[in-house]
Every structure is written in C-alpha cells, then in structure tokens.
Structure 1
C-alpha cells in the first residue's frame, strides 16, 4: 500500500472522489509532492492511467485569505478558453474535513517547470530570448482579458487597490514577525505615503514568474499553462509587471546550483527591453514602475518571511526551506533602492 505524503490522505481523497465523481479514478492512488512550491502544497496524483494535480493550503500558520482554494479554482476555470493558458479544473472540495483543508483537483499539463538558471541555459541563447518575450506576451494577454466577459467582475475591488496592498502585506508581515529586519518598516512607510492611484483595472495574477508556468519545450517552448493563482484578484496590472521585474533581478525561490539572476543566462533580454515590450504589447504607461517594483520587493519579502517563519515552526514540507530566510533582507534593500530618493 502506498503511503500518503504529508497533508494528503490518499484513502480519504479516493473515497471523496469516488463519491463526488464516480468513475473518475480507475485504481489505487499514488502521489508525490511537487518540489519548488513555497506556499500552497501541490501534489501529483495518479491512478496508473491518469495523472492529476491536487492543491491545498500549507500545514499550519495559514493567514486569512492567503490560501483560498476557491479563488484559485474560480479564476482558472474562468480563464479556460481565453488567450491565457490554464489547466482544466476537475473538482473543488470546500469541505475541510476531507483532507484537513479545502482543496481542488486539476488536469496535469505536460511540460517543464524551469526553476533555475541551469534549466534555462540548457535551452540555448535563442530559445531563452524567445521564451522571455513569450512570457511577456502571456502577461499582456492576461491583462487584456475583460473581467466581466469571463464572469469575474466581482473578483476584487480595483479602487484603492495599491493602498490596500500596502496595508495587506503589512498585516501579513505582522502575522509572521519572528526577528528584526532592518529597513522593512521604513519601506512600508514610504510605500504607504506614495501609493499611486490605479493605473487601470485588470485581472492580476499576483505571483507571475517563470517557474509558475509550464513550458512545452517539445513544441516551440510555448507557455502551456500559468499556475499558482492563489493571490489573483482584480487590481493594477503594473503590480504584476513590478513583481516580474523583481524576480528577474533576484535568485529564483527554488534555484539550485548557480544563484545568479535569470537575466545573466545567455540570450535573456535585459529587463528594460522586456518592460518596453510589455508596454508596446499592452499599450500601458509604465513610467511609474519604480513604486510597483518597490511594492513587489516588499510583498515578496513578506511572503518569504512567512515561509521562513513556518520553517522555524516545523510546518513546511519538502527541501530547500533552510535558505529562504537569507533572501528576505536583500529584497527589503532592493525595495528601498527602487523608490525615488527622499528630498532633504
């Protein structure tokens, strides 16, 4: 009998799926944790004939609204059939009694998740360059989707989005504080004092980056799926672009081997070139991107500090969490550097 990975009782899952979707599962289930995730837990589950992916919140220390399975399921179901590639949704279970938390099941999309510079280098410079622009194409396509047209007009509150983001991530930080982080309070104060009005309203992914996509390396390196929608909402599209800029300049959260930024990989376009490409594709004014970059550095610092906190409490599953804490302070410093210099 196959043992269940942490957080996923295979017997309970099989019984629930047999009741909810009779005939879906053809045999005994086997499962494995998908490495690389630092927030919600993700598993591959197979009955020997079909493979699915199951997502559930992390074990313990779950901050309110941060791990809403229903929102992830809803946004991907809504985007299915648009220019944004997403997996097909199979089932949503809101009953926490089945696995100890709500969860959903989706199709498994074939392809590669490129989590580190070495994986990119293996593609060669030309493919790396083309892939970087395809990712920007995908982000612009997401921001072009009409929320009302896909049934997501009530998916968030765009008005006041940027100011609320500052407040929200400060609250998340306060819920995960376990050590001193020099400069993080000053960064928060400056962000709060200079939050811009909404540049435009769109569906925002909230964590758009290379390793939250599946790349079909066997079919022209197309973006086969965008994953990890746990922080998606309606808001300012420049929030996604700002976060992507931060990711370009820092080690990927799941990096192995070399810890160089992805922009150092031969063939990868310069950050400014990608920003200009996005601006042209989307028609958006990106002149005030510095604030969004600083906000994104603050947000990512808070997220990783929360992961570090769970690691210190023994509430993480998988390897690689011991290095997360060291990545927080550089993000705080980068956020401060991205903001315009204070006068005086």
Structure 2
C-alpha cells in the first residue's frame, strides 16, 4: 500500500478543532509548508488565529517512525520547563478525521535560519544565535524527566547499543542498493562502541539550526520544533548530531559549514562549541567524541535512506528534495569512514 500527501479535509478538521481546541473559531484554510521530509506540516488559518498541524504521512510506514503522538507528548511536557517549545493544543488519535494521526499547536512567528552560515546576519548576531542554541541544548539535557512525567519516554540501558541496532534495522528495511561504506560503518560502530557511561537525558534527535524559530529582531530562541525523534538517550548524541553541520559541505543540497570562514562570520569552531557545552554541563571533555560523530553520520544516513525509500514508494512529503537527499547516503557513510580512519 502506498499513498501521497493529500490536501486536508478542511471541513472535517474544522469540526474537530471546534470540539477539541479551546477558543477555536472557523472558518479555516490549510496550507502545507514546503519543507519537511517526514511528517507533513500545515499552517491553519482560522477566524480565531493561526495554528500549525503535524500529521503522519499516509501509506505503509516503518515501525516506530512518524510518531506525532510522541511529539505532542514531549512538547506538552516541556511547557513546564525553560526549554522553548510551541504550545501544544490538541492531539487526534482518531484516524477517521483526516486519515492519519495528527496534532495541533500554536504558530510561533519568527525567523528560521535555513542556512547555518546565516548569510543575511552580522557576526555578532551569528555568535549570539549559536550561543543560544548551545544554551538551549544544555537546558534540554538538564531537564528532570521524572518531574515532567517523561521518565518512561525511552528505554533504559545502553543508548548507543540500542540506537545502532535500531537504525541498522531501519536501514536494512529501506535499503535500495548496496552501499559498501554503510556496511563498513555499521561493522565499525558495532566493534568500537564505548562502554555505557550511564548518562541519560531527554534528547531531541534532530537538533539543528533549521529546527528552531528565533525572534524576528534578536537572537532569542523562541521555539525548538520537530520533536519526532525525541527520546530518552545519551546527551552527546544530540551534540554530535548538531556538530555534523561543521563538517558537511556548504554546497548543493547540503547546508553545512565545511569550507566556510567561520571566524570571519562570527560562528564558533566545533571545538569551541563543544567546549561551551561542556562548561554549561560541568564536563571536562568528551573522550568518545569520534564514536559520537561517526554514529551521527550513520544515523543521518539511515534516516535519509528511509526518505529515499518513501519517495520510491510514493509516500514522501517532498519527493524531489527527498530524492536528492537520499542520494547523499553514500557520501555520509564515506565521510564517517574517513573520520574514523583518520582518528585511527
């Protein structure tokens, strides 16, 4: 079974929102945001204001993917903390309304920096934005999950062991052609996984600059969005995932920082960014950094392989972009292999 991302049934949605969203007043119109490869996202404009709707895509999906109900739960819980998130309004688990699960949240108006080099900003603003991201990540990893009701939001035990197994399985389930570098990388991760150090926190899972909304005229971080991959896990996985952007190319379909004059732009080096995080978390350093980075490249490659498979199956939210990103899987795997070989 396959499907395509269709327009929303606005009449059915309006009836549901009238019953479940406090203060809602129609009529409404829905417009799909152009970005996003996973959960289709829509701006809902109504008589009572603007909202954002996130839904599961149609069709046959990989197990545990597109968990919009988990997104809703985590942003609802984080409303009790200093971590900036949109206000969650209502979750619909009745698939008869729109065909798949969805939730509605407030719309946060601000700026999204799609390019981590922030070409339209000045050095002082870039430095302040990167520091705000760093501070928010440390705040997220310091959240007391027991206190906000998320103690059961993920499994206990060795996070990296579980994640390597999970994403290896997901990758094999969506494999479309042999990629020798991915095979080598999966083997290396299995053989070089460090002992579990017992660290556990709430992790975002896709922590990067374009999953954040900043104030229109300042570096204030208003909201972290796209929590689909959030869970309880190792905090260094979030940090390493974001730091991949320092290493990815700044060309073609990649929006990385490799080859960019970061000093002139006011953007911290990877080393300075990691050091700032460590200061905020009271750490002396991260001795397993090479493994964390290699794991992050592997995980992103597995995610993009899933995107490519959804394109080929007709379930992609943005097919053209999905094809391009799916073709990047061999590059990501090779970059990780080069990284571990360079570190010995």
TM-score w.r.t. the length of structure 2 is 0.90
Structure 1 pair 76/44, CA: closer, same or farther in 2 (3 Å)? same
After TM superposition, give the deviation of residue 117 of structure 1 in Å: 4.9
> 1:109 and 2:108 equivalent?
yes
TM-score w.r.t. the length of structure 1 is 0.90
Structure 1: segments with no counterpart, 5+ residues: none
Alignment of 1:118-197 (within 5 A): 120-196=118-194, 197=196
C-alpha offsets along residues 55-110 of structure 1, whole Å, 9 cap, x if unaligned? 11223342111211221111111111311000111001111221111111000011
Structure 1 pair 256/112, CA: closer, same or farther in 2 (3 Å)? farther
Q: Which 10-residue stretch deviates more, 324-333 or 162-171?
A: 324-333
After TM superposition, give the deviation of residue 260 of structure 1 in Å: 5.2
Structure 1 pair 289/150, CA: closer, same or farther in 2 (3 Å)? same
After TM superposition, give the deviation of residue 19 of structure 1 in Å: 2.9
Cα separation, 1, equivalents of 2:157 and 2:8: 38
Cα separation, 2, equivalents of 1:52 and 1:36: 17
Cα separation, 1, equivalents of 2:109 and 2:258: 23
Cα separation, 1, equivalents of 2:341 and 2:236: 17
Paired residues of 1:198 and 1:236 also in contact (CA < 8 A): no
Cα separation, 2, equivalents of 1:334 and 1:110: 36
Paired residues of 2:55 and 2:103 also in contact (CA < 8 A): yes
Cα separation, 2, equivalents of 1:258 and 1:336: 19
Paired residues of 2:185 and 2:333 also in contact (CA < 8 A): yes
Structure 1 pair 307/209, CA: closer, same or farther in 2 (3 Å)? same
Secondary structure in 1 matching 2:221: strand
After TM superposition, give the deviation of residue 286 of structure 1 in Å: 1.3
Matched residue, 1:333: 334
Cα separation, 2, equivalents of 1:248 and 1:95: 42
Paired residues of 1:298 and 1:331 also in contact (CA < 8 A): yes
Alignment of 1:1-344 (within 5 A): 6=6, 8-21=8-21, 24-117=23-116, 120-196=118-194, 197-218=196-217, 220-250=218-248, 261=257, 264=260, 266-284=265-283, 285-318=285-318, 320-339=321-340
Secondary structure in 2 matching 1:320: helix
Cα separation, 1, equivalents of 2:254 and 2:185: 29
Secondary structure in 1 matching 2:327: helix
Cα separation, 1, equivalents of 2:166 and 2:239: 19
Secondary structure in 2 matching 1:339: helix
After TM superposition, give the deviation of residue 320 of structure 1 in Å: 2.5
Structure 1 pair 53/111, CA: closer, same or farther in 2 (3 Å)? same
After TM superposition, give the deviation of residue 322 of structure 1 in Å: 3.4
User: Where in structure 1 do 4 or more consecutive aligned residues deviate above 6 Å?
Assistant: 255-258
C-alpha offsets along residues 100-150 of structure 1, whole Å, 9 cap, x if unaligned? 1111100001111111257x1101111111111110111001001111111
Secondary structure in 1 matching 2:147: helix
After TM superposition, give the deviation of residue 48 of structure 1 in Å: 4.1
How many residue pairs get aligned? The number is 334
Paired residues of 1:91 and 1:105 also in contact (CA < 8 A): yes
After TM superposition, give the deviation of residue 7 of structure 1 in Å: 5.2
Cα separation, 1, equivalents of 2:227 and 2:68: 9
Structure 2: segments with no counterpart, 5+ residues: none
After TM superposition, give the deviation of residue 49 of structure 1 in Å: 4.0
After TM superposition, give the deviation of residue 6 of structure 1 in Å: 1.8
